[in-house]
Structure 1
């Protein structure tokens, strides 16, 4: 008596996050709207948004990864920390390093992300906090962009700045969300920081406002493109023709 397969041969296997990020890199999306001086192609944001929208019609998770990877590249391109940009940007553009952002696709930077807290230590800080719905937490390695509320340190007043945190930092843990296909494919999850040591020379930007405004405009354009592409998708169906939940 033949055995009925558990998985229908008509259903394609679910794509892995690594393969989807490789597709984003293959399309050169993180490089598309970057200035030529940073190794980009110098296109305008509308051209990049159109490409993200087209990708979202075909593969929403890949477009979500593009949103996150492009935001990281844009943040580095605008950072006054030249050494950090020169060190990390090439790895983001060739996909050997994934770019994760600390705010969700649902609201983006329209609603300010809750910052991580930084307590001063010698030539740096200890960072603590918990971040939800973080995309692009690739197993092979990622860097996380997040705002940090730095507590006062002597004559230095409390302030808001931007930090980039590498996935291998001591005290940084992440737990992936496997509850939905989109979160699985886009490697989304929760990131917890417990006394992560952060050096002052690794600050992406000490002036939060100077970086937040251009990032907010960039984020809004790409998020709108993602939603437009997803809403243009035909209704997904199972192998028997019924609507897929």
Structure 2
């Protein structure tokens, strides 16, 4: 269960967060105050002492109120996960307290890197080696949680001299880091989502998350995608709860589809949690991709069923503003990187390779 204060805040601000009428600075502050950023890792590091599936559940609960807030939560918690799995203990000790307190925003700029890992696109940031670190140039086109009061962003970096790419945490206040204006999104506008340009940014070795992206990225991918799945889970659960609330209005014909969709959702969530706990997704990422696709489809189907259960009310501003927001949120779930198209393309590629 979420802290009641956080639940109330999310409930009252969900529409404003989606439309950009609420101060995006407040999202991370509210999440930190409720201690949800601490869920899912060891207590001696400042966590709650449980595991990443608990973090997925808390993120899903946030998403049941506001996908914009859950998107920020995902960015922050994913960056925390990178620190937890990085061999750079000094960097973890230096950044983790301010990330957990909400003082510093962590931006997961590894969406491009995850696509690179699957051969979908090349890395967008390039480094020139220098005496104590690197000089960076390039651009990340879409990054969330770039809070204007202070952020650090993770990125996979191509070595100009050749060799294995590596992963850096890049401070937002470094010279040559340029944050664009917020992207004009259809929804989720209070999420501090923007582009970043790097113009000869000097970063020293103390900011290194891992010196081999091809080792680090597969290791963090289950948490990266697993936490991302929490957004679809929360949205689907909320839409199905709304369906149930409408059934007394003479639409009992929808009772069976409601049961079927709930059962499919439960099965997909169970598969996700089992895979995160037993480690199967490390060796079999395709299984994780399939779960991510199934959960995105569950969210889309649940919102469509909510429309049918709501009837014409859903199309009236007076009654349907919550539904309209969830409709916009459901349009985002399939395109957040890696998108469903990218995941399906990767699954098809693997299937074709296996057949050769």
1:237 Cα shift? Answer: 6.8
CA–CA distance in structure 2, aligned partners of residues 164 and 146 of structure 1: 7
Report the structure number with the largest CA radius of gyration: 2
Q: What 5-or-longer segments of structure 1 have no aligned partner?
A: 1-10
Residues 1:91 and 2:98 aligned together: yes
Q: C-alpha deviations, 1:94-148, integer Å up to 9, x for none?
A: 00000101145xx983664734110112222110111022000101100001111
Q: What 5-or-longer segments of structure 2 have no aligned partner?
A: 1-13, 240-305, 307-313, 329-356
Residues 1:58 and 2:136 aligned together: no
Corresponding residue for 1:228? 233
Residues 1:207 and 2:212 aligned together: yes
1:57 Cα shift? Answer: 1.1
Q: Of 225, 240, 243, which residue of structure 1 is paired with 2:318?
A: 240
Residues 1:38 and 2:38 aligned together: no
Corresponding residue for 2:164? 159
What SS does the corresponding residue of 2:179 show, helix, strand or coil?
A: strand
Give the superposed CA RMSD: 2.4
Q: Of 22, 31, 36, which residue of structure 1 is paired with 2:29?
A: 22
Name whichever structure is richer in strand by fraction.
Answer: 1
CA–CA distance in structure 2, aligned partners of residues 37 and 238 of structure 1: 51
CA–CA distance in structure 2, aligned partners of residues 238 and 96 of structure 1: 40
Residues 1:188 and 2:266 aligned together: no
Residues 1:144 and 2:149 aligned together: no
8 A contact 1:50–1:225 mirrored in 2? yes
Q: Of 93, 102, 107, which residue of structure 1 is paired with 2:109?
A: 102
1:240 Cα shift? Answer: 2.8
Residues 1:132 and 2:210 aligned together: no
CA–CA distance in structure 1, aligned partners of residues 93 and 188 of structure 2: 31
CA–CA distance in structure 1, aligned partners of residues 114 and 49 of structure 2: 24
Higher relative contact order (CA 8 A, sep 6+): 1
8 A contact 1:24–1:65 mirrored in 2? no
1:178 Cα shift? Answer: 4.4
8 A contact 1:117–1:151 mirrored in 2? yes
8 A contact 2:110–2:154 mirrored in 1? no
Corresponding residue for 1:217? 222
Residues 1:169 and 2:174 aligned together: yes
CA–CA distance in structure 2, aligned partners of residues 200 and 48 of structure 1: 30
For the structure 1 residues 241 and 88, does the alpha-carbon distance in structure 2 shift closer, same or farther, using more than 3 Å as the test?
same
